[in-house]
Structure formats: structure tokens, C-alpha cells
Chain A
Amino acid sequence: MPVESVFSQLEPLLPQVRKPVQYVGGEVNSTVKPWDETDVRWALLYPDAYEVGQPNQGIAILYEILNEQPGVLAERTYSVWPDLEKLMRDNRVPQFTVDAHRPVGSFDVLGVSFPTELGYTNLLTALDLAGIPLEAQDRTITDPVVLAGGHSAFNPEPLADFLDAVVIGDGEEAVLAITRVIRAWKQGGCPGGRDGLLLRLAATGGVYVPKFYDVTYRPDGRIAKIAPNRSGVPASVRKHTLLNLDAWPYPKAPVVPVAETVHERYSVEIFRGCTRGCRFCQAGMITRPVRERSITTVGNMVKGGLQATGFSEVGLLSLSSADHSEINEIAVDLADCYEGSNVGLSLPSTRVDAFNVTLADELSRNGKRSGLTFAPEGGSERMRKVINKMVTEEDLIRTVTTAYSNGWRQVKLYFMCGLPTEQDEDVVAIADLARKVIAAGRQATGRKDIRCTVSIGGFVPKPHTPFQWAGQCPPEVVDDRLRQLGTALRADKAYGRSIGFRYHEGTPSLIEGLLSRGDRRVGAVIKTVWKNGGRFDGWSEHFSFERWSAACAETLAETPVDLAWYTTRERDYGEVLPWDHLDSGLDRDWLWEDWQSAIEPAGAGEVEDCRWTPCYECGVCPAMGTEIQTGPTGERLDGRRLLPVLVTNGR
């Protein structure tokens, strides 16, 4: 049975909403396949607005990989803004895909990518609009399998009631494996019904089905045990790790949005994983080990991607791009190839290192040198040791001075507030550092127009990191420290206008903390917030701390736990953590020792990067059967081979 497009119902609503083009699809490189020529159909949901979700790399990769498969169809769906949500409810228009405007409820799988926790309420909106029962236990064989992935999925427990299945780690091979399981199950006449399919998925060891696990609690509220409740379900579920990234050069031809989006560029992930060992960084812990793309694959992807999209910007993405073994060759060769072509190259993540400035200089040959961002993260040297971000004050000042001397006028410094063991003076030290940066910059350049912006984020302890046991700093303490820092920054008039200060208040971080380290009892909080109108919680104009704290008070009243218990409470070694049955490969004892080393009163211990020093046994490679995959390859990009596709500016 073909599934009808709902566009004719949606169309009359579009003139009544803001930015209607985000809902119409039809973009260059989007794919629409005939429904009846496929047997496994995926709807891919990014639980935020199109302008944020469309550029997401994860969805772009899976969309291409799935649509390349014969018999498989993948379409994209995004959160609709409240103006359209209301009209859709009034006119009974279901959640739709933007590709063919098919109702999301008709697909076999609804794959949801969660890069952050603040999209959880938007999942409920999408399910509700789709007509899919919110709770997994109420779904029937006609409903899609609601499958989550993305970094937040490494602790999916707060969403356990609403999800049928979860995949942790890299999605490329996982979606194909799941597709094969679904195909076999459908071809076999759907044996065992919905649970039959979920059991087959769970039995692979790589798909977590929350309802096949029972969680029991101690009288004090801590978890007693998480265990499978039927046979054929593994005690722990493993993350997926893609090896040999050169064999998976996706996205090759990403969708080119017509609507304006947050990142309008062709992005190439130059490597995946990071072993710098920053203790706060969940991404660096859960994506190990480092796997590089070779310089030639990067060059070919840039060439093909620009040709396929017409973008004029290229982003060389990774968690710490300057760490690629051949980053210098990549930067120089790409800059050579595209010099004079009006193609802009950028390295979004920058480490505090003078070498980084050299790279940025190379990549900016075609454009202006506006701003560079560095992330020392901690304001004092002591703090930076605690988080294992080994940057000395001299490093920072040397790096920033090099940037100013090389013509960069604006430097942004990113810090976190509320880190473990942090004292007021660790945060106020940022003011001193910023002044030193400006003083050194003025001296080096002889100019007064250099600027430095201090940007601060609230620290949120994350699962699968050494800080997973830490008590989150209360928002009032964070806010007070930021007030003190603001006063200190304004104290010296000689620097006043040269130093900018950007920060956010602490309450959204507390809710992010609740959702990051919450367990299944937090699901009721999410549902209550959603019922009370919670939407788009990642957007400050939509976020309401009062709505979240009231929902916590209401739904957790009968339990021994509350918002503070989930957030500001420090955990001990023996406590069963909600995500302990999800195996990221990290050795729990290694994480604990690293945590203890971080908060050692005599000074934190240092962990070096295992790419350049012997293995320190974090556990990932032996547990997951993976290995570090880095160059150098010794190859170079041949400008003559890459150039002909380019349009030059005629100079």
C-alpha cells in the first residue's frame, strides 16, 4: 500500500507560519524513493528545528548510507516550531518527513539523533504529532521502532519509557545491521510480533532495548540492580566503533538547504575520536580510539563535496583538528588547491598551541582574519590540571600573541565554570589572564584595536567520563562566581573595551545535568514538563527552569530522590550508575582512578595522549577490539588533480 503524502493538508497551513520553506523539502541532493519499491523504511528525526538539525553530520551520513541501499528508504523529519504544531493539531496533520511529506508513523523505524539532552521534550512532541504512543509499552506492530542514537544516547535511561531501542557509538554499520534484521523479520512474516523484532535486535548485543531490562532501587533511592528480564538479552550492550574511515567517505553529497541554517558549509570529519583525556569531555571519552581519514580521502571528499553542493565553505571537523598526523599537509595543500577560488576553509576546533595559529593562517589565505577561538577551559593553572587540559599561562599568551601578530584582531577564549574542586579565585583568575593576553597583544602589535572575548559555559558532569561521579556545582554558586568575574573584568579601565564577556545563567545547565545523569524515574519529569508546554528547551526563549523544577517536585514527590539528588550530589565508587550496563569500553576502575587523581588535594595527576605515549589502559581498545588508526601516510594532495572542478574568480 503506498503511503500518501500529507503535503496537500500541510500546504494551506504554511502561509500562516514563520519560515515555511523549512517544511517543504525539495532541496538539492534530497532523495525521494517510491514507497512500494522498498521494504525497510527509516524516518530520521533530529529533535530540533530544521535550521539546527539540517546541518547535522550524523543524520547526513546515515541518510546517504541508507538511501544508497537498494530496497531501503530514508527520509528526514525535524521538530516543528510551536506555531506550526498548533496548526497541525487543529487540522489533524501528522508529523511528516520533509522529503516526501509521508507520515512518520508509517515508517518501520523512527531513528532519533540526540546530540544534547535538551531535545528530549521535542521527541515527545514528534511522537505525539505522529500518532505514535508516547510509551514504548503501548505501541503495536503498526508503530515504528523508536530508536535513539547520538552522544546523549550513552545514557538513554531518562528516555527509557519512550524508546524501543538504543544504539551507542558510530551509526554507519549499525543502521545497516539493523536494516538486515528488520528485513529478515519482515520477510519471515514478523515472527513474535513487535517483541520478536526487538528480541532479535537485542540478541545482536549491539542494540539496547530498555524494556528488556528491569531496574530496582534501594530504599535510599540509589539503584540496586539493572538486569535483563528475559533470556537472549545480554547483560551489557556494546558501543559500535567504525574502523577504517577511508572506506566510509560520507557524506559525499549532503543536502543543500534552501532555508537558512546554522552551518552553511561542506564538512569533512578528518578524524573521529580524541584521546587528549580532558576529564570533563564526554565526546573525547566515548569516541575512542582516534581513527584518522587519510589526506587523500580528505582531499577527494572536499573536491567531490564542493562539486555536489556548491557550498563555498569547507569545515575540517573533528574533536581537535590540529591533532591530525598530517594536518599541516592537509592545510597547506588544500590552501594551495583553492587559493583564489573563493572557497573558504576552516578548522572549527582550535587547541591552545602556536602551531594552530599557523594552520589558521594557511586556511585563511582566501579570506579575512577575523577571529580565532581557543579553549583553555580552566581559568587557573590548578584548574586546568584538574581537568587534564595541560595548557600553561605562557602557552596561552604565546599562542594568542602569535595570533595578534599575524593579523588576527579578535580572539575568543572559552572557559567552563563550576568544575570539580573549583574555588572563587579559579574563576576570577580568568580576568587576570584576559588582561595579560591583551597586554601582551598590544605590546606585540603596537595596536590598541585587538580584542579578546571571554566566553563561559556551565560545567555539566557527563556519563562515561571521570567526572561522572562529581557533584554538579549549584547554579547560584556558578552565577555568583560569574558576577565576581564580571566585576573583576570591569575593574581595570585600561582594558575595559578590549575584553568582552559572554555567559549564560546556570539554571539550564542544572536541567541538562538532571537529564545527563538521570535514571528511569526522570522520564516522568520529562513527560510532565512536556505536558505543561515544555518545547525546544535548548532555546533560552523557550526554556523555563520553573517548569522543570515544578515538574521535579510534582513527579518525584513519592520517591526519596529530587532534582538536587540527581545533580549536585557526589556519587561514590560503589553506586550503580544508570548507564553502567552500557559499555563504552572505558574501564570503570580507570575512570574512578582518573577521577581520584583529578581531585587529589596535593595536585591533580596528568594523563598524556596515548597517540604519542604508551597506552595508559583506559580499556577501550581491548574491550572493543579496536586500535588507534593514524598516519602519517606521506602522501600529498595534487593541486592539478583537484583544481579543474573549481570556478576561479577570474583574476
Chain B
Amino acid sequence: MDVRQTGDEPVTIQHLLVRYAKRGKMRFASHLDVARAFERGVRRAGLPIAYSTGFTPHPKISYAGGAPTGVASEAEYLSLTLTSRTEADAVQDRLNAALPDGIDVIAVAEDTGGLPASRLTASEWQIAFPGLPLDDVVPVVRKFLALSEAPVERLTSKGMRRMDARAAVVSLEVLGDTRSSVLRMVVRHTVPSVRPDDVLNALRDVSDVFPAGLPLMTRLAQGSLGESGVVKL
């Protein structure tokens, strides 16, 4: 989509939707850390990024809500506004060369611009438990799904927040074998948000089968909620 504006506004030529991953060590980066890395990455990559007008111009990058610090993701999204047309594949290559390893661009596509919350209404998450047999987890999941509500609390920047982890969970399944198990869940985006660690805390209220400490959690997909699970963007 080409948008030409008059006056002091920069000329917007192209909107790009970027899907990126937060992997390995970089899962410990906060949402703000990732945003700073992208601003620098875009400059290092020499992309013709548009800037906002005003006293302190900022590069036009809009971010969807990020996976929590410490949680990995294969499905983070942001939107870039460029002032001259650039091939999506080239943008992906140049960004990947300019970003730290672990903040990896997976896909770039032309888009209408902006990331309204209505486009991203749910996420699919995975929690891995190496060493925990499938048979131990199956009854816990059944018990959780049978609950009418699962209240949990989490300390946020706005103070202690209370939410219903059960209500936000659209689906929850467990895969695995005799040696390990993996939880897969689709969780609705709510305010305050219910995160995978909140669901895990609700599961811990049901059973003490899960080992202490924070397991590896990954966002697998993000998009609008369709008939069967998450529809990717």
C-alpha cells in the first residue's frame, strides 16, 4: 500500500509485517530490550525506516505485546514503515545480519500497517518438562480442565493482579512418552494477561507433580482465534 502525504509528514511507501523469534539466551531479553535491539538493527541494516515527526523523532516500528522476559517465542510480531520500497526477503536477510543471534526474523510480508489488538487475540504456548512422564501429567490436565475457575495472582508493575487462568485457556493438551512431557495450550489474550507461567501456577495448585523452578516456555503461534485453535497471522 502506498500512502503519500503532504506537508512535513514523511512519505510512507511500504508497511511490512515482521514475524520474529526470541530464542535461546535472548529469551531473557525484555520487551523493551528487544525493541532497542530492533531500532539499532534497523539502522545497522541500513533500512529506509520512516521516522515520526516532532521534537524527538522515533523510527516507525510498532510492536505487538511481547512474550514475557524469560519466555522464548517463535511468533512475535512487529510492523515496520519504510520510506522506499524494499524487497521483503532482502529486509529479512539484512535484519538477520544486523540483529543479535537469538532475535531472529522468520518472515517478512507486505501489510496494511499497524498491529491492532484485534489481529492478535490468542497465543499457543508450549511448556517442556524433560524428565516428567506423560502418565503423571495427563490426570493433572484433566483435573484442571474440569475446573470452573482457577484463580491465580501475579505481581505486575501495577501491583498484585488476580486473574482466572482457567477462563483464559481455550485448549490444553499434553504430549509425551515415558520420559518426558510437553504441555500445549491456547490462551486467550486478556487484560491483565494470563501468561503460560500463570497457567502453570494454576496446575501446581491442582498437583505437586511438576518439578520446582521455571521450565522452558515457548510461544509457538499468535493470531486471531479461529474454530480450531490459533490462526496464524
Asked if residues B46 and A647 are in contact (CB atoms below 8 Å), the reply is yes
Contact present for B25 and A25 (CB under 8 Å): yes
Once the chains bind, are B10 and A649 in contact (CB under 8 Å)? yes
Identify the stretch in A184-192, A305-313, A635-643 within 8 Å (CB) of chain B at 4 or more residues.
Answer: A305-313
- Contact call A26/B98, Cβ cutoff below 8 A: no
A-B contact pairs, 22 of them (CB 8 A): A12-B214, A15-B70, A15-B213, A20-B28, A24-B25, A24-B28, A26-B100, A28-B41, A28-B44, A256-B37, A256-B40, A258-B26, A309-B40, A310-B40, A310-B44, A311-B40, A311-B43, A342-B51, A342-B57, A650-B11, A650-B48, A650-B83
Chain A, range 1-49, C-beta contacts under 8 Å to B = 7, 12, 14-16, 19-21, 23-28
Closest chain B residue, CB of each to CB of A27? B100
Pair B33/A309 contact, Cβ less than 8 Å: no
Nearest CB in chain B: distance from A149 CB, A: 29
Contact between B214 and A258 (Cβ–Cβ < 8 Å)?
no
- Please tell me if the beta carbons of A28 and B98 are within 8 angstroms of each other in the complex: yes
Name 17 extra pairs, CB < 8 A, besides A21-B29, A342-B59: A12-B214, A14-B28, A14-B70, A21-B30, A258-B29, A258-B36, A258-B37, A310-B44, A310-B98, A311-B40, A312-B43, A647-B42, A647-B43, A647-B46, A650-B48, A650-B50, A651-B8
Report if A367 contacts B (CB, 8 A): yes
| B220 within 8 A of partner (CB) | no
Q: Which of A12, A21, A26, A258 contacts B213 (CB 8 A)?
A: A12
B residues 15-58 with Cβ under 8 Å of A? 24-26, 28-30, 32-33, 36-37, 39-51, 55-57
Answer whether A650 and B102 are a contact pair too, CB < 8 Å, given A21-B30, A28-B44. Answer: no
Q: Which A residues lie within 8 Å of B36 (CB)? A: 258, 260, 264
In the complex, the answer to whether B57 meets A649 with C-beta atoms within 8 Å is yes
Contact between B26 and A26, CB atoms less than 8 A apart = yes
Whether A310 lies near B213 (C-beta < 8 A) is no
Would you call A259 and B98 a contact (CB within 8 A)? no
Q: In the complex, what's the smallest C-beta–C-beta distance from B61 to chain A, in angstroms?
A: 13
Q: Which residues of B contact A247 (CB under 8 A)?
A: none
Expressed in whole angstroms, the minimum distance between the Cβ of A166 and any Cβ of chain B is 34
Considering only residues 32-77 of chain A, those with a C-beta below 8 Å from chain B are none
Set of chain B residues within 8 Å of A27, measured between Cβ atoms: 100
The answer to whether B40 touches A259, judged by C-beta atoms less than 8 angstroms apart, is no
Chain A residues within 8 Å of B48, by CB:
647-648, 650
List residues 618-651 of chain A with CB under 8 A from any CB of chain B: 645, 647-651
Say yes or no for A230: interface residue by CB 8 A criterion. no
The reply to whether A651 and B10 form a contact with Cβ atoms under 8 Å apart is: yes
Against B, the Cβ 8 Å flags (1 = close, 0 = not) of A98-125 are 0000000000000000000000000000
**A17–B37 alpha-carbon span in the complex (Å):** 21
Q: How many Å lie between the Cα of A311 and that of B55 in the bound state?
A: 19
Q: In the assembly, what is the distance between CA of A7 and CA of B28, in Å?
A: 13
8 Å CB contacts to A: which residues of B52-93?
55-57, 59, 69-70, 83-84
Let me know if B99 is at the binding interface, CB within 8 A.
yes
Q: Top 4 A-B pairs ranked by shortest CB distance?
A: A310-B40, A650-B83, A310-B44, A24-B25
Residue from A7, A258, A342 whose CB has the most chain B CB atoms within 10 Å: A258
Confirm or deny: A368 has a beta carbon within 8 angstroms of a beta carbon on chain B: yes
Query: Interface on A for B, CB 8 Å cutoff?
Result: 7, 12, 14-16, 19-21, 23-28, 256, 258-260, 264, 306-312, 342, 367-368, 645, 647-651
B136 contacts across to A, CB distance below 8 A:
none
A648 CA to B83 CA in the complex, in Å? 9
Residues of B within 8 A of A (CB): 8, 10-11, 24-26, 28-30, 32-33, 36-37, 39-51, 55-57, 59, 69-70, 83-84, 98-102, 213-214
A99 CA to B214 CA, complexed, in Å: 24
Q: Taking the nearest CB of chain A, how far is it from the CB of B219, in angstroms?
A: 16
**CA–CA, A259 and B35, complex, Å:** 11
Find the residue from A16, A368, A647, A650 having the highest chain B CB count within 10 A. A650
Q: Which of A15, A27, A259 gathers the greatest number of chain B CB atoms within 10 Å?
A: A15
Distance between B3 CB and nearest chain A CB, rounded to angstroms? 12
Q: Which residues of A contact B24 (CB under 8 A)?
A: 26
Determine if B33 and A28 form an interchain contact, defined as CB atoms under 8 angstroms apart.
no
User: How far, in whole Å, are A494 and B29 apart by their CA atoms in the complex?
Assistant: 48
A14 to B72, CA, bound (A): 13
Q: Do residues A20 and B37 form an inter-chain contact, with CB atoms below 8 A? A: no
**A367 — which chain B residues lie within 8 A by C-beta?**
55-56
Residues of A within 8 A of B69 (CB): 20-21
Contacts of B83 in A (CB 8 A): 649-650
| Also in contact, A645 and B46, with CB within 8 A (given A14-B70, A28-B98, A311-B40) | yes
Name the B residues within 8 Å of A256 (CB-CB).
37, 40, 100
Q: A24-B25, A28-B40 are in contact. Are A649 and B50 (CB under 8 A)?
A: yes
How many Å from the CB of A112 to the closest CB on chain B?
A: 25
| A84 → B minimal CB distance (Å) | 12
Question: Taking each of B25, B98, B99, B100, which has the highest tally of chain A beta carbons within 10 Å of its own beta carbon?
Answer: B25
Nearest opposing residue in chain B for A645, CB measure: B46
